[in-house]
Structure 1
Amino acid sequence: MTEILQVRGLVAGYGAAPVLRDIDLTVPTGSIVTVLGANGAGKTTLLRTLSGLLRPTAGQILLDGKDLRRVKVERLVRLGMAHVPEGRGVVAELTVDENLRLGGLWRNDVNAAVAEVYELFEPLAQRKRNAGHLLSGGERQMLAIGRALVARPRLLLLDEPSLGLAPKITAQIMALLQKLRTQTGLTVLLVEQNARSALSVADSGVVMSLGRIATATTAQELRNAYLGS
């Protein structure tokens, strides 16, 4: 299996203090890889560094073999990487439809891409003219993911999608990730504190501790180790 993402010796942080230390990570094309760990382990910093929001001080980030360290954030989207940060960030004053179109302003086929998102998320289709601030927490998470999907990425970085959501909504989002992987070949790097939910859909995973990767193995082995199943 080919690897869409390769990370080698990655070091990054804020100011003089490193948060990530010598991170080595590979993400096979068409897989779901989850990143687990306690608060402060460096999970969000990892995604921020991969997506260009935080510049590394050492190491390599390769997307399909292309070094991303000097690539501008907006260019990363065109190269096939999309990042949904923690917090379900949407533009509250804009409608659902306007939010979605922000994800594909540069695409000639934005109308078709938005229509595909409405097929995936029926609640969004029903509320396309509603402002973002009128949506429920689950709907805002759907909108944040949908906006990223409008760019038709090959690699989706997803940070804590279950945060603050009811178990039923979390299960729906995890099922959607599996569906996208199966139907479109989407690759997902999933940061999640809900280990049970993440490992229910992941192929493999890593456990971070104090800015390093402590464990990297299959999802089944992580389920056995952490969930006893």
Structure 2
Amino acid sequence: MSALLVLDSVSAGYGPVPVLHGVSLEVAAGSITAVVGANGAGKTTLLRTIIGQLRPTGGSIRYDGADLGSTKVEDMVRRGISLVPEGRGVITELTVDENLRLGGLWRRDRAAAQVLLERMYELFEPLARRRKASGHQLSGGERQMLALGRALMAGPRLLLLDEPSLGLAPRVTAQILGMLRTLRDDTGLTVLLIEQNVRSALAVADDGVVLSLGSVVASRPATDLAADTDLRHTYLGF
């Protein structure tokens, strides 16, 4: 498979504080790539740099063959990139239906947006039963489904996910991560997954990248990483 996203020697940080140090990785089109590592490894900074919230201080980021360096954050969704941030980002004052429609607001084809909305309710059945419930009435798992559904309403080719299992029960985590495989298989969606639940992330991913102190220390098929006992003990804590 060809690479949809390519990072070449990317460095980034916050003001004078460097966080990423020459990160290089590729995300194949139609694949799930999991980036794993300990707290402070730079995983969230990596996503913020890709989406344009942080500008790299070195290196390049290419998406579908084109440089993302000058792309504004608000234009990323039009380029086919959606982000589900850590903490879910649901607008709690709005209903489930309103949150989902907000995700597809920029789409001009209203009929297509309505079809996609119904697809979200098919994919996330708990949300279909709570269309008129406000965000603050939802459970943690339902909020994560809503955040994911809202991002998908934009019709992305590349989905960036930051810690989707945070605070969720193992059963709900398995359900949500399993949906990523369904989306990959059914639509060809490409996913870059940031996740501290290493076992679950590597179980669902095609490829894995281990980040440590802002640098890539391993990049292999996910099954190979999961089977590497020394690497797991040194960098992943299990």
Give 1:223 deviation, angstroms. 1.0
Q: Which residue of 2 aligns with 1:91?
A: 91
Residue 101 (structure 2) pairs with residue 101 (structure 1): yes
Cα shift readout 1:169-197 (whole Å, capped 9, x = no counterpart): 00101110010000100010001111110
CA distance in 1, matches of 2:119, 2:142: 16
Further displaced range: 38-47 or 110-119? 110-119
CA distance in 2, matches of 1:73, 1:116: 26
1:118-197 mapped onto 2 (5 Å cutoff): 118-197=121-200
Give 1:92 deviation, angstroms. 0.7
1:113–1:151 CA contact under 8 A, matched in 2: no
RMSD (Å) for aligned C-alpha atoms: 1.3
Cα shift readout 1:130-162 (whole Å, capped 9, x = no counterpart): 110000000000000000000111110001111
CA distance in 2, matches of 1:192, 1:3: 21
1:1-150 mapped onto 2 (5 Å cutoff): 1-107=1-107, 108=109, 109-150=112-153
Give 1:36 deviation, angstroms. 0.5
CA distance in 1, matches of 2:130, 2:54: 34
AA at the equivalent of 2:180: L
CA distance in 1, matches of 2:71, 2:99: 25
CA distance in 1, matches of 2:44, 2:160: 10
Runs (4+) of structure 1 exceeding 6 A deviation are: none
CA distance in 1, matches of 2:202, 2:211: 15
Q: Which residue of 1 aligns with 2:209?
A: 206
Give 1:82 deviation, angstroms. 0.6
AA at the equivalent of 1:65: G
- TM-score, normalised with respect to structure 2: 0.94
Give 1:56 deviation, angstroms. 1.2
Give 1:198 deviation, angstroms. 0.5
CA distance in 1, matches of 2:177, 2:215: 26
CA distance in 2, matches of 1:58, 1:33: 23
CA distance in 2, matches of 1:183, 1:81: 18
User: SS of 1:92's equivalent?
Assistant: coil
Q: Percentage identity across aligned positions?
A: 61
User: SS of 1:5's equivalent?
Assistant: strand
Give 1:74 deviation, angstroms. 1.7
CA distance in 2, matches of 1:57, 1:210: 17
Give 1:42 deviation, angstroms. 0.1
1:43–1:191 CA contact under 8 A, matched in 2: yes
Cα shift readout 1:83-126 (whole Å, capped 9, x = no counterpart): 10111110010001111111111112321221111110011111
User: SS of 1:139's equivalent?
Assistant: helix
Task: Show structure 1 runs of 5+ residues with no match.
Answer: none
- Number of residues of Structure 1 aligned to a counterpart in Structure 2: 229
Give 1:217 deviation, angstroms. 0.8
CA distance in 2, matches of 1:128, 1:5: 34
